[in-house]
Amino acid sequence: MSKPAQTQRAARDRVGRQLAVALLGVAFGIIIVKSQVASWFRINAMFRFEEFHMYGVILSAIAVAMLSVRLIAALGVRTIDGEAVVIAAKPADHGQWIGGFIFGCGWALTGACPGPLYAQLGAVGPVVLITLFSALAGAWLYGRWRPHLLH
Amino acid sequence: MAALLSSPWPWYVAGPLIGLMVPALLLISNRFFGISSSFRHACAALWPAGIAYFDYDWKQEVWNLWFVGGIVVGGWLTAHGLGSPAPLLPLQWLGWPGVLSWQGLLMSVGGGLLIGFGTRYAGGCTGGHAIAGLATLQRPSLVATLAFFAGGLSVTWLVLPLITGSAS
């Protein structure tokens, strides 16, 4: 294969890959709207212990994800590129409890964690951009103040 | 079939499907499920402002922006094609024009700022910590998930009643 053809194929691969990821996102968006995981009322009912729905979603998602990851490890399944699967380690510092508490407050106010926020933008409309741009501003402020925060 | 598509999906359908996002992303692009990183990448792409936290090659992480773009499309498709009768948001505060009331601004702008700041400080959100992190038995994710609920419970029981003027 000539060099330009290889480069073209690599570029097509990249686009194909991102489109596959985008389609997964579409599926995720449909799932969280159809199951009302992206609903303010469901989040509120969860925090008020009025419904099992959200707990069922989160717990069964964890169980299926855990089983899948273990199967991948046990069977030595590789990625479509033939790479070994890498599980990224989450950071471990004071951010998990301080930042976690701060995010939890926002979760209850907006009735959305980040995934549902994007789904609400599509399902409800541009009014959700107010919340989304505020979230971007919050992330930006975190980056700006990071050197002064306890980690 | 039509009834299945138009009625809300139960948790035992939605939860496992959400869980499958974790292996799907690993096998397609060897990436660990997470959504709040998209805020960081968007900041790095739009307005890095010389801040160290945004000084990295965000194009290496562009999959995350494709994923969240897909979520927006999925939300739109569901609302406009698959039928989603129940409203997702309390529109008296989070729809036009209620969002411009002090209650609406506190919930949207206030809540949004806390989501962006908190998820990045914690290094993940419900997706990356509570689902993917707990599924891989990562201790920091357990701390984060407990903190998410501590914050959410505090606001739901102590702050929301003041905003909504009732037990909502």
Q: How confident is the model at residue A14 (pLDDT cuts 50, 70, 90)?
A: confident
Tell me the ipTM for this assembly: 0.94
Number of A to B CB contacts under 8 A, please give it: 497
Q: How confident is the model at residue B164 (pLDDT cuts 50, 70, 90)?
A: confident
pLDDT at B19: 97
The single-letter DSSP state of residue B80 is: I
Between residues A7 and B79, the one the model is more confident about? B79
Contact A29 B115 (CB under 8 A): no
Residue numbers in A near B137 (CB within 8 A): 66
B33-62 pLDDT, tens digit per residue, is: 999 999 999 999 999 999 999 999 999 999
Q: Name the residue facing A33 among B52, B70, B75 (closest C-beta).
A: B75
d(CA B73, CA B80): 10
Between residues A86 and B156, the one the model is more confident about? B156
Mutate to test the interface with B, among A15, A18, A30, A144 (most CBs of B within 10 A): A30
A110-126 pLDDT, tens digit per residue, is: 999 999 999 999 999 99
B129-142 pLDDT, tens digit per residue, is: 999 999 999 999 99
Q: How confident is the model at residue A23 (pLDDT cuts 50, 70, 90)?
A: very high
Contact A22 B67 (CB under 8 A): yes
Burial label, B102 (beta-carbon count in 10 A; 0-12, 13-18, 19+): exposed
Q: What's the predicted TM-score (pTM) here?
A: 0.93
B63-119 pLDDT, tens digit per residue, is: 999 999 999 999 999 998 876 567 899 999 999 989 999 999 999 999 999 999 999
pLDDT at B167: 41
Residue numbers in B near A34 (CB within 8 A): 5, 8-9, 14, 78, 82, 84
Question: At A84, phi and psi to the nearest 5?
Answer: -70, 140
d(CA B151, CA B168): 18
Contact A99 B123 (CB under 8 A): yes
